[in-house]
Amino acid sequence: MIIRNLVVGPLEANSFVIVDESSKRAMVVDPGDDPDRTMDIVNEVGASVDYIVCTHAHFDHVGGLPDIVKETGAKIVIHEDELEIYRSARDMAAFWGYDIEALPEPDLLVKDGDEIRCGALVFKILHTPGHSPGSICLFGEGVVITGDTLFAGSVGRTDFHGGDMNKLKESFNRLLSLPEDTEVLAGHGPASTIGRERSENFFSKLFT
């Protein structure tokens, strides 16, 4: 498995290109901006992008999506509870003083327990609401991609539309029940592990 991390956009969101080395099938997670850089990685590896997965639909995680769809024809994947946020992403960006293109309608609405396959790689969808209603994490192959649900040492904010602190608490505790050696790839900031977050994350005491 190849995982390449790009820090993109003015809010420095993490975007990921995940490639199955044997088949060169790929998916892009949270293309918030800089689609040219994403495509440079895809082309460098010689991969074909099957899916663009949005852990949630805030503009800093989806702003580069239209260009990548045009380049690859990949299917857009979001949770079914995130549609309202997805469809209002452009307005949210404008409110913050940014401009993004209109987003294409998603192709695949997922729910908790579904799987996304990328060549031989398999990732399970974990529905982790709290930061937004349809926030998801991707768990598999020794990693969990957490979007803005779990950060190294912190959690996502809940004061945006659809945020819910009680649900975030439940989602946080669910993630911390994963194997401790699972690598955490968050939507912002550095990587971590579940074991480190159990022992060092401020919210591990607050939420238990």
Quote the radius of gyration of the chain (alpha carbons, Å). 16
Across 28-50, average pLDDT = 97
Q: Give the model's confidence band at 205: pLDDT under 50 very low, under 70 low, under 90 confident, else very high.
A: confident
Q: pLDDT (tens digit, 9 = 90+) per residue, 163-172?
A: 999 999 999 9
- pTM of this prediction exceeds 0.85: yes
Across 58-81, average pLDDT = 97
> For 2-206, which CATH class?
alpha beta
CA distances to 1, 128, 152, 165, 180 from 155, in Å: 27, 12, 8, 10, 18
Across 9-36, average pLDDT = 97
Whole-number average pLDDT of the chain: 97
Among the residues of the chain, which ranges form H helices? 35-45, 59-62, 65-72, 83-87, 89-95, 165-175, 194-200, 203-206
